[in-house]
């Protein structure tokens, strides 16, 4: 989870409860019923929705928030899947490879709120989102290509 408190720490016990119910990975999601993003600008929310919809269409539609970063997972997940990628690409990569490996997911809603301190590394304007998004698109494409070649 981010340390700027845009992801509410009080939701952490709900993620832990999902693991207690049998999930291997609990994802705090802005894009399941009850979730919301009020932290980012219209431009930021739009780019996030587009990249998540694209990842869902190309990879696996059952994952709704590929770029969440608000994740609690069992150690076995990380024993099996090493993190790779930079910034948000790691989250797309981890969630998709874990899903393909058969790990059980549960996405729980949370409201992403404005950060309490610091500045976003994501982007300050549309051009920043486009340049950051290129790496997301490359990650989604690489994962799709690898999954096609593994059949």
Q: How many domains does the chain have?
A: 1
Inside any domain, residue 1: no
In the prediction, which pLDDT does 140 show? 94
Integer Cα distance of 99 and 103 in angstroms: 5
Inside any domain, residue 4: no
Inside any domain, residue 150: no
In the prediction, which pLDDT does 120 show? 64
In the prediction, which pLDDT does 5 show? 67
Inside any domain, residue 77: yes
In the prediction, which pLDDT does 41 show? 86
Contact 40, 119 (CB under 8 A): no
In the prediction, which pLDDT does 149 show? 64
Structural domain span for residue 89: 9-145
Inside any domain, residue 42: yes
- Write out residues in the chain with pLDDT < 70, as ranges: 3, 5, 118-124, 147-151
Inside any domain, residue 151: no
In the prediction, which pLDDT does 117 show? 73
Contact 26, 74 (CB under 8 A): no
In the prediction, which pLDDT does 135 show? 87
In the prediction, which pLDDT does 115 show? 79
For 25, phi and psi rounded to 5 degrees? -135, 130
Contact 24, 105 (CB under 8 A): yes
Contact 63, 96 (CB under 8 A): yes
Inside any domain, residue 103: yes
């Amino acid at each position: 989870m981010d340390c700027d408190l845009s992801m509410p720490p009080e939701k952490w016990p709900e993620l832990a409860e999902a693991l207690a119910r049998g999930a291997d990975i609990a994802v705090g999601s802005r894009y399941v019923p009850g979730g919301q993003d009020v932290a980012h600008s219209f431009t930021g929310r739009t780019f996030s929705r587009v990249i998540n919809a694209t990842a869902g269409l190309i990879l696996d539609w059952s994952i709704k928030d590929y770029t969440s970063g608000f994740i609690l997972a069992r150690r076995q997940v990380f024993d099996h899947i090493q993190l790779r990628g930079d910034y948000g690409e790691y989250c797309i990569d981890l969630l998709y490879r874990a899903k393909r490996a058969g790990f059980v997911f549960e996405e729980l809603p949370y409201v992403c709120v404005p950060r309490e301190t610091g500045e976003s590394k994501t982007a300050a304007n549309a051009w920043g989102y486009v340049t950051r998004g290129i790496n997301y698109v490359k990650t989604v494409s690489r994962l799709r290509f690898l999954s096609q070649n593994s059949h």
